[in-house]
Amino acid sequence: MTVDANISSRINLMRILLISGILFVHVPYDSATSPFLGLNGFFDWLRVFLGDSLFRIGVPCLSAISGYLLFQRGWEMFDYAKTLRSKARTVLVPFLLWNLGLLGAVLVIQPLDVGIGYFPDLWNLSARDFLSNAFATEDLPINIPLYFLRDLIVCIILSPVLAMLVRRFPAATLGVLFLLAIIPGLTLVIVLKKSILFSFTLGIFLALHRVDLKVADRFAGLGTVAMLAAAVLLSIGLYWTGPDFPWPLDMARSALSIVGAGGFWLMSAIAIRSWTGQRLAATGSLSFWMFCTHYPLLVLMWMAWNRVVGDDLYPLFYAAAAVGSFGILFVSNRLVSRRMRGLYEVLTGSRGRKAKLSAASKSHSPARANHPGEPAMTQQHR
């Protein structure tokens, strides 16, 4: 089975849209500017809608894309050893470089009384907690969104087992993993976010069982409206009950983050027809660059804002952080990719080799999954 041009473009479009949305998930705030205080009315509800409802769909959706691309050519063509070597370059190395780079920077600035309260106090952590910040061994890494890459590595290591299970017992495997993903309070230890394991396995199922990804495109409009309506309704409940959500809403939030991926996929069928959609689908490795860099940038902007302005005018900070970070990330991606190509390729896991790879070869290679993803935790949620 191959990925045609339409599906390839829609996957690329989904990446850039979802990772842009993940940025809204991570705009920092503190207890005095929490959206659940309701101090800014509709604006605070909008923050909950974007950060706690709609764009929580990002990580599960990106996980499903990962599993699908890994097995798009079928079980017979899957080379486990080759996959591990490839993913060490495209996933593991970027995870280590970006996370340990931020860890080193924080270690340098904290003795100068900078960054305390914005990042964990690294110099006073136990060895166990320090390892988690460095390598996400048991908890979120210091560059919080990179937990997705950590869990993705685990899923790739488990991929032959997951593939065998979903080939022989698809309904039971997906059913169990879905329940584990949405039931509050359950932990799986091996992954930090349970939804990633289910969604990755779902992607494998879609690939191995050769499910037609366009089969529901005729319902694209209805599916898009349903997804948005569900996100709106959920955000209303979250806004009135948060930040400590009752378990039915917590379960609903987890379920929507998984099921909503289908709505985003249907939306891509509409969006890809537009000039804007085509342009966004052609942004290539920008999505991965944004994913790895947006969290440190947002925290840096929050630190500067608090030093100059304080907690006042938070809506202005939110808007400035969102718009400003998009601009900075776009410009920095272009500058580094053009002027420091070797470094850029290493930092993005070889995703910047546009001159050497055609669009067709990218869509046919399971190693080209530009996984970025959403990370769905803010510093306040650690």
Distance in angstroms (rounded) separating the CA atoms of residues 328 and 143: 18
- For residue 312, the model assigns a pLDDT of 82
The answer, yes or no, to whether residue 50 has pLDDT greater than 80, is yes
- Residue recorded with tokens 């053009």: 338
pLDDT bracket for residue 353 (50, 70, 90): low
- Residue recorded with tokens 């925290």: 299
% pLDDT > 90, the chain: 87
At residue 216, the 3 state secondary structure works out as coil
Q: How many CB atoms lie within 10 A of CB 141?
A: 25
- For residue 369, the model assigns a pLDDT of 38
> Which residue(s) pair with 116 in the sheet?
119
Q: How many CB atoms lie within 10 A of CB 20?
A: 21
The mean pLDDT of 110-116, rounded to a whole number, is: 93
Q: At residue 295, what is the residue type? A: Y
Mean pLDDT of the chain: 91
Q: What is the dihedral sign for C-alpha 360, 364, 365, 369? A: positive
- Residue recorded with tokens 């842009």: 20
The answer, yes or no, to whether residue 355 has pLDDT greater than 90, is no
The answer, yes or no, to whether residue 259 has pLDDT greater than 80, is yes
Question: Lowest-confidence range among 154-158, 327-331, 350-354?
Answer: 350-354
- At CA 71, angle to CA 68 and CA 75, rounded to 5? 145
The answer, yes or no, to whether residue 107 has pLDDT greater than 70, is yes
3-class SS shares of the chain: helix, strand, coil, % to 5: 75, 0, 25
What are the Cα distances from residue 215, in Å, to 53, 60, 87, 278? Answer: 26, 21, 30, 21
Distance in angstroms (rounded) separating the CA atoms of residues 248 and 233: 13
- For residue 21, the model assigns a pLDDT of 96
Non-local CB neighbours of 172 within 8 Å, separated by 6+ positions:
none
- For 353, phi then psi, to 5°, come to -85, 60
Question: Lowest-confidence range among 285-289, 303-307, 378-382?
Answer: 378-382
Count how many Cα atoms sit within 13 Å of the Cα of residue 109 in the half-sphere of its side chain: 15
The answer, yes or no, to whether residue 279 has pLDDT greater than 70, is yes
The answer, yes or no, to whether residue 271 has pLDDT greater than 90, is yes
Q: pLDDT digit string (tens) for 67-103?
A: 999 999 999 999 999 999 999 999 999 999 999 999 9
pLDDT bracket for residue 281 (50, 70, 90): very high
Question: Model pTM greater than 0.85?
Answer: yes
| Terminal-residue alpha carbon distance, the chain | 41
pLDDT bracket for residue 253 (50, 70, 90): very high
- For residue 1, the model assigns a pLDDT of 52
The answer, yes or no, to whether residue 378 has pLDDT greater than 50, is no
